Structure formats: C-alpha cells, structure tokens
Amino acid sequence: MQQTLSIIKPDGVKKGVIGKIIDRFESNGLRVAAIKKVQLSSFDAQAFYGVHQQRSFFNDLVKFMTSGPVVVIVLEGENAVLKNRELMGSTNPKEAKTGTIRADFAESIDANAVHGSDCLENAKMEIEFFFSKREIC
C-alpha cells in the first residue's frame, strides 16, 4: 500500500472537472485518504516547487499555480505513485496517451490539469507539505 499526492490544478478546478478527475482515481483502485481545496500563496507555490527553482518555467509555474484554487488529495492504493502517474499521462498533454487525465482535460504543459508525486520519497514530503496526520484517514 502506498500514498501519493495529487493536485487538481487551477485549470481543472475552473473547468469544473474535479469530480471527473476523482472518478478516474476511484475507478482505478485509488482511494481518497484526504482532500481539501486550497488557494496557494506565491510563498506556498515557490516552496512546493522549490526543486524547479532554477528552471526557466519556474516563475510562470508559480503564477499559474496561484491563479485560482487547487484541490489537494492524498491517494492511497497498491503502487499508488506509479498508478497515479499512469492515469495522469505525460506532463505535456500533447504527448499524453489517449484516455489519460491530461489527454482528456489539459490544454498545455503549464495548464496540465494535475500534478502527481514522481516517487515515494517525494510523495511523503509533498503529503506532509499539505496535510497533518489527523487529516489523513
């Protein structure tokens, strides 16, 4: 059993596809162990994406992630980290496989509907960034 962090980004929230995206998780064996809607500050987004600080897209990423509320979710299930990444599809929706979340709901590499932890170690850090122990059940 693993836990991983998913974020439904501002574009997904604005489009009104929160339920449709969660359905992809639940229909594929990932349980919602925690969930909340959050408006990130620039400070939050800079800290969360700190690993990308030197990348050319960092400022745009922070601007986009603070452009509206996001929904943060702890997903739990067998092989949750990899399963979530498979369900999301490639970072660039133009390269995402048919039937993946990004192929179906994302517009661009910036507005790409969802974020998902890329490994178990980062999943633990990302979950701790957003949730206290008592919120996860």
Residue nearest to ligand CMP (CB): 115
Taking the complex as a whole, how short is the minimal distance between the CB of residue 57 and ligand CMP, in angstroms? 4
Taking the complex as a whole, how short is the minimal distance between the CB of residue 19 and ligand CMP, in angstroms? 21
- Residue 88 near residue 100, CB atoms below 8 Å: yes
Whichever of 69 and 137 has its CB closer to ligand CMP, that residue is 69
DSSP string, the chain: -EEEEEEE-HHHHHHT-HHHHHHHHHTTT-EEEEEEEE---HHHHHHHTGGGTTSTTHHHHHHHHTSS-EEEEEEEETTHHHHHHHHH--SSGGGSPTTSHHHHH--SSSS-SEEE-SSHHHHHHHHHHH--GGG--
Among 115, 116, 123, 127, the active-site one is 115
Find the binder of ligand CMP among 28, 31, 57, 97 (CB under 6 A). Answer: 57
52 labelled catalytic: no
Q: Using the rule CB under 6 A, is 122 a contact of ligand CMP? A: no
Find the binder of ligand CMP among 30, 61, 73, 123 (CB under 6 A). Answer: 61
Taking the complex as a whole, how short is the minimal distance between the CB of residue 63 and ligand CMP, in angstroms? 11
Distance CA 2, CA 96 (A): 24
Which residues 78-117 are close enough to bind ligand CMP by CB under 6 A? 91, 109-110, 112, 115
Distance CA 36, CA 89 (A): 23
Taking the complex as a whole, how short is the minimal distance between the CB of residue 52 and ligand CMP, in angstroms? 6
Interface residue list for ligand CMP (CB under 6 A): 52, 57, 61, 91, 109-110, 112, 115
